């Protein structure tokens, strides 16, 4: 079987995120909680505890909670702490890019460590998205591997001041996804594979897969080699009731740029990559527009470092999340568990909520 050469270089003109300006947009005192101050509640998490009340108040006010110094080392104990805020968890029913389970109800991140992950909002590319995410610090290295978040309220304001922001407001976006056929790669190296439609749609039946895609609000058709080609047209923004306004709910992460540092995919030209992002009228984005989209999130980003036992809960409306590539030394491990919160039906933007 063929393999990707080990000496190939990324395609020229790659736009690499800067991640932040060097100054955090939010003071850690506003969102961080030292678990040692709530040792009894950490040991026995209860929904009516002082720890639960503080976590939920911070989440309500800020949209971001980082619980540290818990002393917890197993995923299910971490999950119980995260569930003090993530009360309702998503049941995956197909259509999105699924993650494998580390343990029951705890998912893996689902991306190579060495790849940088652009700032993004989880599941923005289908009609059923999620309100929040919980991250669990299962394995960590002390000096690398931060999760980065970007203040999306400020990013929204900054983007709407630009021509790109007004263009996104007018035209919306179209998410293009090409899902490969598992049988087509049965005796082939998984070069260029992001997700097989069998895994994404939870079925081996092509007719059922097509029906499930369409039930998720996707335009869907079959391409060559049983490639399931889906399209989703929606606003680049989403109405957020607690703030009574439209917030940016998209990023360049759903473009072929997502794979610029992704092994076995990054060597492919853009037209052969599994994802593409255009304006809702199918107009391609220019390189300058993509660069600005990345820069807007970078302006309001900040790192959140991990220690084993840390819990991070992120509002999927008020923050985007991502990270640079992570390179480990022999014997090092970095692994997060993920909880996906309650789902909601996307409405896009509301005309009088700008």
Q: Where are the beta strands (DSSP E) in the chain?
A: 32-34, 64-68, 101-103, 106-107, 117-120, 128-130, 132-139, 147-151, 173-179, 219-222, 228-234, 237-240, 245-248, 275-279, 301-304, 311-315, 319-323, 335-340, 343-345
The whole-number pLDDT of residue 206 equals: 92
Sheet holding 335-340, edge to edge: 32-34, 64-68, 311-315, 132-139, 335-340, 106-107, 101-103
Highest mean pLDDT among 99-103, 177-181, 247-251, 267-271: 247-251
Whether 62 has a pLDDT exceeding 90, the answer reads: yes
Whether 9 has a pLDDT exceeding 70, the answer reads: no
Phi and psi based region of residue 5 (left: phi greater than 0; alpha: psi -120 to 50; beta: remaining): beta
- What would the mean pLDDT of 38-43 be, rounded to a whole number? 97
- Ranges of each domain in the chain: 28-345
The whole-number pLDDT of residue 187 equals: 79
Q: For residue 184, name the pLDDT band (cuts at 50, 70, 90).
A: confident
Location of structure tokens 């490639």: 227
State the DSSP code for 284.
B
Among the ranges given (35-49, 74-88, 185-199, 335-349), the one the predictor scored with the smallest mean pLDDT: 185-199
Residue 75 to residues 83, 110, 136, Cα–Cα distance (Å): 12, 17, 7
Question: Of residues 143 and 233, which shows the higher confidence score?
Answer: 233
Residue 349 structure tokens: 């933007």
Residue 35 structure tokens: 């678990």
Cβ atoms of 123 and 234 closer than 8 Å: no
Cβ atoms of 16 and 325 closer than 8 Å: no
Superfamily of domain 28-345: Clavaminate synthase-like (3.60.130.10)
- What is the sign, positive or negative, of the torsion defined by CA atoms of 156, 162, 164, 169? positive
Q: Do strands 219-222 and 343-345 pair parallel, antiparallel, or not at all (unpaired)?
A: unpaired
Please state, in angstroms and rounded to a whole number, the distance separating the CA atoms of residues 267 and 192: 9
The whole-number pLDDT of residue 40 equals: 97
Taking Cα atoms as reference points, which of 66, 65, 67 lies closest to residue 35? 67
Task: Give me the percent of the chain exceeding a pLDDT of 70.
Answer: 91
pTM attached to this predicted model:
0.91
Q: Is 37 helix (H, G, I), strand (E, B) or coil?
A: helix
The separation between the first and the last C-alpha atoms of the chain, rounded to the nearest angstrom, is 53
Instruction: Give me the chain's average pLDDT, please.
Output: 90
Whether 10 has a pLDDT exceeding 70, the answer reads: no
- What would the mean pLDDT of 121-147 be, rounded to a whole number? 93
- What would the mean pLDDT of 52-63 be, rounded to a whole number? 98
Q: Is 192 helix (H, G, I), strand (E, B) or coil?
A: coil
Location of structure tokens 């009360």: 87
Taking Cα atoms as reference points, which of 255, 235, 252 lies closest to residue 169? 235
62-92: b (≥16 Cβ within 10 Å) or e: ebbbbbbbbebeebebbbebbbbbbeebbee
Taking Cα atoms as reference points, which of 351, 215, 253, 279 lies closest to residue 17? 253
Q: What are phi and psi of 210, to 5 degrees?
A: -65, -45
Number of continuous H segments (helices) and E segments (strands) in the chain = 8, 19
Whether 105 has a pLDDT exceeding 80, the answer reads: no
Cα 85 versus chain centre, distance = 19
Whether 93 has a pLDDT exceeding 70, the answer reads: no
Question: Of residues 182 and 28, which shows the higher confidence score?
Answer: 28
Taking Cα atoms as reference points, which of 82, 84, 83, 98 lies closest to residue 136? 82
Residues in the chain, how many? Answer: 354
The whole-number pLDDT of residue 2 equals: 32
- What would the mean pLDDT of 298-308 be, rounded to a whole number? 98
Please state, in angstroms and rounded to a whole number, the distance separating the CA atoms of residues 33 and 52: 11
State the DSSP code for 161.
T
Q: For residue 198, name the pLDDT band (cuts at 50, 70, 90).
A: confident
14-41: b (≥16 Cβ within 10 Å) or e: ebebebbeeeebbeeeebbbebeebeeb
- What would the mean pLDDT of 167-184 be, rounded to a whole number? 94
Render pLDDT for 69-84 as a digit per residue (tens, 0 to 9): 999 999 999 999 999 9
Whether 234 has a pLDDT exceeding 80, the answer reads: yes
């Amino acid at each position: 079987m063929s393999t990707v050469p080990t000496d190939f270089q990324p395609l020229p003109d790659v736009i690499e995120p800067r991640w932040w300006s060097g100054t955090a947009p939010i003071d850690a005192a506003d969102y961080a909680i030292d678990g040692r101050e709530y040792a009894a509640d950490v040991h026995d998490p209860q929904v009516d505890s002082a720890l639960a009340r503080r976590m939920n108040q911070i989440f309500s006010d800020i949209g971001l909670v980082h619980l540290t110094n818990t002393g917890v080392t197993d995923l299910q104990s971490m999950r119980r702490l995260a569930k003090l805020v993530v009360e309702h968890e998503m049941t995956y029913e197909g259509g999105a890019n699924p993650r494998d389970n580390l343990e029951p109800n705890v998912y893996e991140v689902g991306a190579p460590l060495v790849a940088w992950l652009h700032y993004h909002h989880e599941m923005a590319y289908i009609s059923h998205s999620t309100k929040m995410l919980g991250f669990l610090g299962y394995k960590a290295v002390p000096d690398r591997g931060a999760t980065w978040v970007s203040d999306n309220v400020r990013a929204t304001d900054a983007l709407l001041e630009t021509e790109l922001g007004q263009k996104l407001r007018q035209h919306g976006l179209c998410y293009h996804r090409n899902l490969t056929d598992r049988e087509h790669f049965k005796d082939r190296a998984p070069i260029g594979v992001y997700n097989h439609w069998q895994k994404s749609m939870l079925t081996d039946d092509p007719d059922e897969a097509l029906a499930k895609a369409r039930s998720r609000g996707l335009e869907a058709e079959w391409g060559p080699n049983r490639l399931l080609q889906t399209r989703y047209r929606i606003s680049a923004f989403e109405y957020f009731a607690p703030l009574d306004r439209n917030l940016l709910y998209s990023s360049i992460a759903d473009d072929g740029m997502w794979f610029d540092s992704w092994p076995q995919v990054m060597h492919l030209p853009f037209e052969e990559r599994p994802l593409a992002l255009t304006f809702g009228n199918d107009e391609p984005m220019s390189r300058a527009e993509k660069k600005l989209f990345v820069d807007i999130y970078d302006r309001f980003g900040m790192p959140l470092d991990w220690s084993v036992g840390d819990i991070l809960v992120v509002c999927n409306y008020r923050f985007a999340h991502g990270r640079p590539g992570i390179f480990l030394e022999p014997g090092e491990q970095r692994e997060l568990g993920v909880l996906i919160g309650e789902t909601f039906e996307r409405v896009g933007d509301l005309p009088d909520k700008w």
